[in-house]
């Protein structure tokens, strides 16, 4: 199932106060919207992310999405419902089967909730996360006096992302134009789509009032490791690119991009820290635009995504495995270049080399293999 995420961030946030709309205010050092963009962009079951924004917020959006290759945003309409419909219409002919519609002001959505919604969509046309109402509900009468108690049995608080089969929800939104409905599930219900409830999470809060942001303490960080491995074979040529440095050799390395086998292994190690998949997921070799691409583009993407998720890179360690060329004379320059690319201290970047004692494909001088390990501090999600 090809799944897109549609982040709704066109609101003015009149309840929120402050000069900036709430989705662009800063939470733990980055815009509220960037939290959700990164969470959906990194999720391996989400193919693309599209955001609906207010036309006045273009610059704020560019800053919030910087370095994350999501789809170009679309402008919203007068009401939330119009904004969602415009976003859905922009997605409908792009080959997606399902869409997850998410509030840009819910920065704490977890992969567990996203997975439950996607999994439910395999058997239903709509699914929303929700939590049971635990407080007693009162109906207020005149002058703030209680008029009655509302039975809470069977009542749930709806959250987002709300997931739907794309074609059905587009038609539902088009059919409901002009009606005022408060969420997308209500739009789906109104045309008779079945909408399943899956467990939401209390922490999947919507930032509605200014104090909400200040009240959320930053998460503690936990160490996470990632590993990467890559191999490229030699072909005719007179230099190779390793760790972004050009090294003279009797051969070149074969590959779709610049074939920098060291940066590929390192980039995969960074994706490994985030459980975000691998380099081929974000930069498919089937796409012509990555032909000859310098591999620091891939590394930058992985590092940017890691930081957008609230992570901090600690150190990297590479082992280059080959008989030739000799790595020793280039080691320091490669490590310095990596430290620059990653904004790490030179003491947190290790480049080592070894041979396989003439055994195997590297021993036969058929190519180069690289192993990479990284450590990063990532938000504690437990």
Task: Write out the residues near Mg ion by the rule CB under 5 A.
Answer: 230, 264
Closest approach of Mg ion to the CB of residue 282, in Å: 13
Closest approach of Mg ion to the CB of residue 268, in Å: 8
Q: Which is nearer to Mg ion, 211 or 285 (CB)?
A: 285
Closest approach of Mg ion to the CB of residue 307, in Å: 23
Closest approach of Mg ion to the CB of residue 371, in Å: 13
Residues across the chain: 382
Query: 60: phi > 0 → left, psi -120 to 50 → alpha, else beta; which?
Result: alpha
CA dihedral sign, ordered 301, 302, 303, 308:
positive
Q: CA-CA distance, 247 to 238, in Å (whole number)?
A: 9
Instruction: Show the tokens assigned to 119.
Output: 């999994």
Instruction: Show the tokens assigned to 352.
Output: 């080592």
Q: Which is nearer to Mg ion, 80 or 264 (CB)?
A: 264
Q: Which is nearer to Mg ion, 183 or 230 (CB)?
A: 230
Closest approach of Mg ion to the CB of residue 238, in Å: 20
Residues 6+ apart with CB under 8 A from 67: 300, 301, 304, 305, 308
Q: Which is nearer to Mg ion, 120 or 265 (CB)?
A: 265
Closest approach of Mg ion to the CB of residue 262, in Å: 10
Residues 6+ apart with CB under 8 A from 29: none
Selection from 256, 240, 244 nearest residue 297 by Cα: 244
CA dihedral sign, ordered 169, 171, 173, 175:
negative
Closest approach of Mg ion to the CB of residue 270, in Å: 14
Q: Which is nearer to Mg ion, 103 or 230 (CB)?
A: 230
Number of H helices, E strands in the chain: 12, 19
H/E stretch holding 185? helix 184-190
H/E stretch holding 50? strand 48-53
Q: CA-CA distance, 220 to 288, in Å (whole number)?
A: 41
Closest approach of Mg ion to the CB of residue 170, in Å: 39
Closest approach of Mg ion to the CB of residue 91, in Å: 31
Q: Which is nearer to Mg ion, 264 or 296 (CB)?
A: 264
Residues 6+ apart with CB under 8 A from 225: 272, 273, 373, 374, 375
Closest approach of Mg ion to the CB of residue 150, in Å: 60
Q: CA-CA distance, 275 to 134, in Å (whole number)?
A: 34
Bridge partners for 317 per DSSP: 350, 373
Q: Which is nearer to Mg ion, 184 or 230 (CB)?
A: 230
**Alpha-carbon torsion, ordered 101, 161, 95, 169, to 10 deg:** -60
Bridge partners for 320 per DSSP: 353, 370
Q: Give the nearest residue (CB) to Mg ion.
A: 264
Beta strands at 367-379 and 48-53: parallel, antiparallel or unpaired: unpaired
Q: Which is nearer to Mg ion, 21 or 244 (CB)?
A: 244
Q: Which is nearer to Mg ion, 43 or 264 (CB)?
A: 264
Q: Which is nearer to Mg ion, 278 or 323 (CB)?
A: 278
């Amino acid at each position: 199932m090809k799944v897109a995420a549609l982040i709704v961030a066109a609101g003015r946030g009149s309840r929120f106060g402050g000069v900036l709309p709430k989705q662009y205010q800063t939470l733990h050092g980055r815009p509220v919207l960037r939290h959700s963009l990164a969470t959906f962009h990194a999720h391996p079951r989400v193919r693309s992310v599209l955001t609906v924004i207010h036309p006045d917020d273009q610059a704020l959006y560019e800053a919030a999405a910087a370095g994350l290759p999501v789809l170009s945003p679309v402008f919203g309409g007068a009401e939330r419902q119009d904004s969602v419909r415009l976003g859905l219409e922009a997605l409908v002919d792009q080959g997606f089967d399902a869409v997850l519609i998410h509030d840009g002001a819910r920065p704490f959505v977890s992969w567990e909730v996203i997975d439950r919604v996607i999994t439910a969509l395999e058997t239903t046309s709509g699914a929303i996360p929700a939590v049971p109402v635990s407080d007693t509900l009162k109906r207020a009468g005149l002058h703030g006096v209680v008029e009655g108690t509302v039975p809470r049995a069977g009542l749930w608080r709806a959250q987002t992302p709300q997931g739907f089969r794309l074609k059905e929800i587009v038609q539902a939104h088009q059919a409901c134009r002009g009606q005022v409905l408060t969420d997308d599930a209500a739009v789906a219900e109104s045309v008779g789509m079945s909408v399943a409830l899956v467990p939401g999470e209390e922490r999947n809060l919507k930032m509605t009032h200014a104090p909400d942001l200040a009240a959320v303490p930053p998460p503690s960080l936990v160490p996470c490791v990632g590993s990467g491995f890559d191999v490229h074979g030699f072909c005719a040529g007179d230099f190779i690119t390793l760790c972004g440095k050009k090294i003279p050799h009797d051969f070149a390395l074969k590959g779709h991009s610049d074939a920098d086998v060291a940066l590929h292994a390192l980039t995969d190690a960074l994706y490994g820290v985030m459980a975000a998949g691998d380099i081929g997921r974000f930069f498919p070799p089937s796409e012509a635009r990555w032909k000859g691409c310098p591999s620091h583009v891939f590394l930058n993407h992985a590092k940017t995504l890691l930081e957008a998720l609230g992570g901090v890179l600690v150190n990297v360690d590479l082992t280059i495995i080959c008989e030739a060329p000799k790595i020793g004379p280039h080691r320091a320059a490669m490590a310095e270049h990596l430290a620059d690319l990653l904004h790490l201290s030179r003491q947190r970047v290790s480049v080592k080399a070894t041979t396989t004692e003439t055994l195997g494909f590297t021993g036969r001088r058929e190519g180069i293999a690289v192993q990479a390990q990284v450590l990063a501090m990532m938000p504690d999600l437990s």
